[in-house]
Amino acid sequence: MDGLDLGFTKIKEIFVTADSIREHITTEEDAKVQIIIRVLIEALGWDHKDVSAERKNTNGFSDYIVSDLSQPAFVV
């Protein structure tokens, strides 16, 4: 199984788990911990050191900035 197939399989698992605990995901922070971080790390393969949270920028705050080789790659 290649990386793309593995990532797709993992994201399906994450969503099944999230659906089963949906009533306990009541805040944005719950969703970040239970779903978003898991998708970034487990399914998309980013390293914890590459994900920073709640960074101030000119437009306010970003929930996440994901970096590649210390350069911002994308913002969530």
Q: What is the pLDDT of residue 26?
A: 96
pTM (two decimals): 0.85
Identify the helix (H) or strand (E) that includes residue 75: strand 71-75
Q: What is the pLDDT along the chain (76 residues), one digit of tens a residue?
A: 678 899 999 999 999 999 999 999 999 999 999 999 999 999 999 999 999 999 888 888 899 999 998 899 998 8
DSSP 33-58: IIIIHHIIIIIT---GGGEEEEEEET
Q: What is the pLDDT of residue 3?
A: 82
